[in-house]
């Protein structure tokens, strides 16, 4: 009994010490301040995007391709939704979607759009990293030969979705389920290879502005703003306040 009592006392002391240590850490963190700095400033913003994207993928493999895409309707109402970046190159950023969707109706009327990427992770130095990339520009529809490979490598459920779903429109769940099961069964029997439907489309955002934000731990963020000089086909960059 005495040993158990002593053990409980020791456990309580250790718990109290741990609590005090945590409180001291929190208090010390509250008294920390400095400026974060974007070190890898390059002439072309998509090169910086590539560097940051690779790092985000290294620390959080499933997250870096998700982004928020904002579009505007012809009556000036803004809509935003999360989409998946399928690929990018030195010209811009590619997504695929349903041509019958609200976003495409918006883009057909007003081709200007904005993307936003937000990444949080802890690096090997145990630093809490926060990065955001905002992109603005014009979205253009791609020719089929420029995005068919993206459809070909879609997983099965995505291909079935493109055949049974009319994105954003009213649907009866039971009817959708029946249609899904019919197509799924035909695929398993080798009777349906799910060719790319005409409403499966690819769009590319050609950026005219890109802004990079970086912060870590209790440091004040840093931002680099790139604007494209369309006359000279070059980029100008500035450091701006967080």
The CA-to-CA distance between both ends of the chain, in Å, stands at 60
**Taking the model in full, what pTM does it have?**
0.84
Q: What is the pLDDT of residue 25?
A: 52
Q: Which fold has domain 33-153+198-240?
A: Pnp Oxidase; Chain A (2.30.110)
Provide the pLDDT confidence category of residue 41 given band limits of 50, 70 and 90.
Answer: confident
Q: What is the pLDDT of residue 26?
A: 47
Q: What is the tens place of the pLDDT at every residue in 111-122?
A: 999 999 999 999
Phi then psi dihedrals of residue 113, to 5 deg: -150, 170
Q: What is the tens place of the pLDDT at every residue in 28-40?
A: 556 789 999 999 8
Asked if residue 149 lies in contact with residue 142, where contact means CB atoms within 8 angstroms, the answer is no
Q: What is the pLDDT of residue 230?
A: 87
H or E element at residue 116:
strand 112-122
Mean pLDDT lowest for which of 5-9, 123-127, 163-167, 185-189?
5-9
Q: What is the pLDDT of residue 18?
A: 52
Q: What is the pLDDT of residue 63?
A: 79
Q: Pairing between strand 34-35 and 219-220?
A: parallel
Q: What is the pLDDT of residue 7?
A: 56
């Amino acid at each position: 009994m005495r040993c158990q009592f002593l053990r409980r006392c020791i456990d309580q002391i250790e718990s109290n010490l741990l609590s005090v240590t945590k409180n001291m850490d929190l208090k010390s963190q509250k008294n920390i301040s400095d400026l974060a700095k974007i070190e890898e400033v390059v002439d072309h913003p998509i090169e910086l995007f590539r560097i940051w994207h690779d790092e985000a993928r290294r620390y959080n493999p499933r997250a870096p391709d998700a982004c928020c895409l904002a579009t505007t309707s012809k009556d000036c109402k803004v809509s935003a939704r999360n989409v998946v970046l399928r690929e990018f190159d030195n010209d811009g950023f590619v997504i695929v979607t349903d041509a019958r969707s609200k976003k495409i109706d918006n883009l057909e009327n007003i081709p200007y759009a904005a993307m936003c990427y937000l990444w949080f992770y802890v690096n090997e130095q145990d630093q809490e990293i926060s990065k955001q990339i905002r992109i603005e520009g014009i979205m253009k529809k791609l020719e089929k030969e420029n995005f068919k490979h993206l459809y070909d490598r879609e997983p099965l459920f995505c291909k079935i979705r493109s055949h049974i779903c009319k994105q954003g429109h009213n649907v009866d769940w039971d009817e959708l389920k029946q249609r899904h099961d019919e197509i799924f069964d035909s695929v398993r029997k080798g009777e349906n290879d799910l060719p790319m439907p005409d409403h499966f489309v690819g769009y590319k955002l050609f950026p005219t502005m890109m802004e990079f934000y970086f912060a870590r731990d209790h440091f004040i963020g840093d931002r680099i703003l790139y604007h494209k000089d369309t006359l000279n086909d070059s980029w100008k960059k500035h450091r701006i306040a967080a």
